[in-house]
Amino acid sequence: MEERIQKAIGRTDVVIRRPLATFGDYAVFGGAEAEMFAEKLRQKLGDNAEKVEVAKGFVNITLAREAVTLAVAEADAQAGEWGEGTIEEGKRVIVEYSNPNAFKEMHIGHLVGTIVGESVSRLIQNSGAEVARDTFGGDIGPNVAKALWGLQKERITEPTMAEEIGAAYVNGSHAYEALPDAKAEIDAINQAIYAGEDRALMDLWRKGREVSVEEFRRIWKLLGTHFDFEFFDSDTTETGLRVVRDGLDKGIFEKSDGAIIYNGAEKGVHTMVFITSHDTPTYEAKDIGLAFLKEERWPSDKSIVVTGNEQAGRFKTVLAALVDVAPLVAAKTVHLATGFLKLASGKMSSREGNVITAADFIKGVIEKAKEKNADPLVAEQVAVGAIKYMILRQAPGSDILFDAEKSLSLEGDSGPYLQYALVRAKSVLAQAAPTSEVGAAAPNEPYLIERVMMHFPEVSARAARELAPNLLVNYLTELAGEWNSFYAQERIIGGEHEAYKLVIARAFVNTMTNGLTLLGIPVPEKM
RNA sequence: GCCCCGAUGGUGAAACGGAUAUCACAUCAGUCUUCGGAACUGACGGUCCAGGUUCGAUUCCUGGUCGGGGCACCA
């Protein structure tokens, strides 16, 4: 519809917006040209528009009954394809997110990136693009050495649980700070991993990494995500080192106190070390290596990297260096920063060993959900929906306050509220006699829910374009509210216009199902 | 010290330079309880401060206040 309005006006630069319901279905700001726009719209839209009015520089368009009916019929008929777009067709987009580090447990910070990254991936895919998902985890460096040192002290050669490794990391970390001998041993282990010649050590390293990653995969699956590529530091060090050394010769990087740094002063970014004076690469050099690795494994038109906003400064330096090293790769790279997850219940401490793990957090929310849902599968769907909604409802970048109590109250403005509205609609359809009649008689004035529903394709498209799942969350919340109002005010089965109301119910089920799926929120059958 | 991000009803959030600033929670008052009440309806109440740009500013610019984050051999 937006496209038709633009065409009718003959201008692609006008912004079509959704006005307050009292003004109409679509609005265009025309300023002095408003009357002219309105005239064109009246001509081109013809019977599709019931009203085209000018007010305070705006052109307000109210669709005719027939046009609304058509949109609702599409929502009903297109089922899973309702809301799909084509603007990104033919494009290849790679999205990096989650990025947990091996030998550490995934904590609640990773949850945010994982959930935002997955939804952004789905939204872009829905716009027609081919999407690859990748995650990049640390599996080498001082933190890994600390964990391995801890495992060696406990004489563990066959680690089997993520908690075991997490505990070893915490022990190693404390020892590193407190005991000079331990510090020296850990530093030696770090060097030895890079060298890769100590058989026993490398064996422990491989096993430990596998245990960590198995645990990550379990959580990813629970959250409805998976990765086409699981990259590790160890995959990127070689390329990173080579590119940075090469850049040193070209004058892009410089030597300072024995280290190789990128001087960001000129570009107004932080100056950072890329290769240490011990000749080991830092995370920054590995990031450069990763950009090349991605290019090699899955060439793309666009590369999106989702990380916490505390990494924004670091990322700017890496991107500035990448501009000098590989301008084309840098130009298509977009950084999406996510906010911190804060818990309303307090008790969140960043002190080592006191971090809330993703697994524990999810488990806790599932336990709460079980209080109201006997079926464990449903409890899990409700819990995951509650967590995802809380995170996705706000613009990426702003901090998130998670209140478990509120999220699971199932009252308005929560994941379960959306799921509940959907389940109710499904229940109505299950009880209705199957009708497949086309062109069921509709009341003259469309219900509000019909007018809200027809905007779904436009909202999904904009959410994808702006990498902003929160826009879709807001919209679906409004839609669920409209459904609940419709449901409360109108008798569906056995009521007037029953056949048409069932079309609305089916269209609503499709819209909500597709919308929740784009957010990665589970769609329960019952709850 | 320097850099980045943020500040919207009591609370948590929307608003691509445009209309009467949109929701939800909480509070108060109702509906009704026959398709699933975990619902619906209504009331209450808000753009941090001072300038500037603009026909028009929550939005852009400058300064200030408050809060969060980052700042080379950690990731």
Please give the full DSSP string across A251-313, using - where no structure is assigned.
TSSEEETTEEEE--GGGTS--EEEE-TTS-B-HHHHHHHHHHHHHHHS--SEEEEEEEGGGHH
The answer to whether the C-beta of A62 is closer than 7 A to strand B is no
Say whether the CB atom of A181 is under 7 angstroms from strand B: no
A413 is near strand B: CB distance < 7 Å? yes
Question: Over the stretch A223-280, which tens digit does the pLDDT of each residue have?
Answer: 999 999 999 988 999 999 999 999 999 999 999 999 999 999 888 889 999 999 988 8
Question: In the predicted model, is pLDDT for residue A439 greater than 70?
Answer: no
Q: Which of A293, A314, A319, A285 has the alpha carbon at shortest distance from A132?
A: A293
> Across residues A69-74, what is the average pLDDT?
93
Q: Does the CB of A212 fall within 7 Å of any strand B atom?
A: no
Q: What angle do CA A327, A331, A306 make, to 5 degrees?
A: 125
Answer for A448: CB within 7 Å of strand B: no
The Cα-based distances of A251 to A12, A19, A254, A255, A275 in angstroms read: 45, 54, 7, 10, 15
| Block residue for tokens 């389940």 | A423
CA atoms within 13 A on the CB side of A121: 24
- Tracing tokens 């807001």 back to the chain, one arrives at A474
pLDDT of residue A352: 40
DSSP 3-state assignment of A365? Answer: helix
- The answer to which of A36-50, A118-132, A160-174, A317-331 has the lowest mean pLDDT is A160-174
Beta bridge partners, A134, equal A96, A229
What's the mean pLDDT in A382-395? Answer: 89
Residue A350 scores a pLDDT above 50:
no
Chain A window 10-39: residues with CB closer than 7 Å to nucleic chain B are 15, 17-20, 22-23, 27, 29, 31
- Distances in Å between the alpha carbon of A62 and those of A18, A26, A196, A467, A521? 11, 7, 69, 29, 33
Which nucleotide in the DNA or RNA is closest to residue A276, CA to C1'? B73
Coil, strand or helix: which one is A336? strand
Which ipTM did the prediction report? 0.92
If we measure between CA atoms, which residue out of A401, A378, A507 comes closest to residue A446?
A507
Query: How many Å apart are A401 CA and B49 C1'?
Result: 27
Q: Between helices A162-178 and A199-222, what is the axis angle to 10°? A: 120
d(CA A163, CA A211): 10
Q: Which bases of chain B come closer than 7 Å to a protein CB?
A: 3-6, 12-16, 18-20, 22-26, 35-41, 55, 68-75
Q: Which domains does chain A have, with CATH numbers?
A: 2-63 (3.30.1360.70), 92-342 (3.40.50.620), 405-519 (1.10.730.10)
Using the structure block, give the residue that is written with the tokens 């799921």.
A419
Q: Give pLDDT, residue A436.
A: 56
The contacts found for A216-223 with CB under 8 angstroms, 24 or more apart, are A216/A98, A216/A100, A216/A106, A216/A137, A219/A106, A219/A114, A219/A358, A219/A359, A219/A362, A220/A98, A220/A114, A222/A362, A222/A380, A222/A384, A223/A111, A223/A114, A223/A115, A223/A118, A223/A384, A223/A388, A223/A520
Highest mean pLDDT out of A37-51, A384-398, A426-440: A37-51
Please report the pLDDT score of residue A445 as a whole number.
Answer: 87
Strand partners, A17: A27
The span from the CA of A354 to the CA of A67, in Å, is 58
Confidence tier at A345 by pLDDT (50, 70, 90): low
Residue type, A461: A
Decide: CB of A57 under 7 A of nucleic strand B: yes
Q: Which residue is nearest to nucleotide B4 (CA to C1')?
A: A313
Supply the pLDDT for residue A494.
Answer: 86
A90 Cβ within 7 A of any nucleic strand B atom? no
- Which phi and psi angles does A196 have, rounded to 5°? 70, 25
As a whole number, the mean pLDDT across chain A is 88
H or E stretch at A53: strand A49-55
Average pLDDT for A362-370: 86
Nucleotide nearest to A27 (CA to C1'): B19
What pLDDT digit, counting tens, does each position of A300-339 carry?
999 999 998 889 899 999 999 999 999 999 999 999 988 8
- C1'-nearest nucleotide to the CA of A492: B35
- The answer on pLDDT for A351 being more than 60 is no
User: Any atom of strand B under 7 A from CB of A471?
Assistant: yes
3-state secondary structure A83-119: CCCCCCCCCEEEEECCCCCCCCCCEHHHHHHHHHHHH
d(CA A357, CA A107): 4
* Separation between the CA of A370 and the C1’ of B29 (whole angstroms): 34
pLDDT band for A170, please (50, 70, 90 cuts). Answer: confident
Confidence of residue A374 (pLDDT cuts 50, 70, 90): confident
* A340 beta carbon to strand B: under 7 Å: yes
Coil, strand or helix at A208? helix
Beta bridge partners of A75: none
Largest CA distance in chain A: 84
A103, A148, A189, A331, A495 from A170: Cα distances, Å? 10, 11, 16, 39, 64
* A51 C-beta less than 7 Å away from strand B: no
pLDDT of residue A349: 39
Which nucleotide in the DNA or RNA is closest to residue A137, CA to C1'? B75
Question: Mean per-residue pLDDT for A144-154?
Answer: 91
Q: Would you put residue A415 in left (φ > 0), alpha (ψ -120 to 50) or beta?
A: alpha
**Shortest CA distance to A473 belongs to which of A25, A115, A224, A221?**
A115
Average pLDDT over residues A144-160: 90
Distance B67 C1' – A508 CA (angstroms): 42
Q: Is the pLDDT assigned to residue A365 strictly greater than 90?
A: no
Task: Name the residue closest to B75, CA to C1'.
Answer: A283
pLDDT at A204 over 60: yes
Average pLDDT over residues A56-85: 92
Report residue A104 as tokens: 């550490």
Q: Which amino acid is at A328?
A: L
What pLDDT is stored for residue A209 in this prediction?
93
Model pLDDT, residue A427:
92
Shortest CA to C1' contact from A280: nucleotide: B73
Asked if residues A88 and A131 have their Cβ atoms less than 8 Å apart, the reply is no
Percent of chain A with pLDDT over 90: 56
Q: Cβ of A335 < 7 Å from strand B?
A: no
Question: Which nucleotide lies at the shortest CA–C1' distance from A277?
Answer: B73
Among A258, A304, A310, which residue's Cα sits nearest to residue A279? A258
Q: A348: pLDDT confidence band, cut at 50, 70 and 90?
A: very low
Rounded-to-integer distance, Cα A297 and Cα A311, Å: 25
Indicate if CB(A387) is under 7 A from strand B: no
Strand order in the sheet with A16-17: A16-17, A26-29, A58-63, A49-55
Question: CA angle, A309 as apex, A267 and A516 as ends, to 5°?
Answer: 130
Give residues with Cβ within 8 angstroms of A39, minimum separation 6. none
Amino acid A314 CA to nucleotide B62 C1' distance, rounded Å: 28
Q: How confident is the model at residue A91 (pLDDT cuts 50, 70, 90)?
A: very high
Nucleic strand B near CB of residue A313 (< 7 Å): yes
| 3-state SS track over A119-160 | HHHHHHHHCCCEEEEEEEECCCCHHHHHHHHHHHHCCCCCCC
Task: Average the pLDDT over A198-212 and give the result.
Answer: 93
Closest-lying nucleotide for A462 based on CA to C1': B16
Which nucleotide is nearest, taking the CA of residue A268 and each C1'? B3
Average pLDDT over every residue of A361-380: 87
pLDDT at A426 over 90: yes
Which nucleotide is closest, CA of A314 to its C1'?
B70
Structure-model confidence comparison of residues A398 and A297, the more confident one:
A297
Residue A28 in this model has a pLDDT that exceeds 60: yes
Question: Can you give the pTM of this predicted structure?
Answer: 0.93
Residue in the block written with tokens 């990259």: A231
Distance A263 CA to B29 C1' (A): 65
Answer yes or no: is pLDDT of A354 > 60. no
Separation in Å: B43 C1' and A419 CA:
29
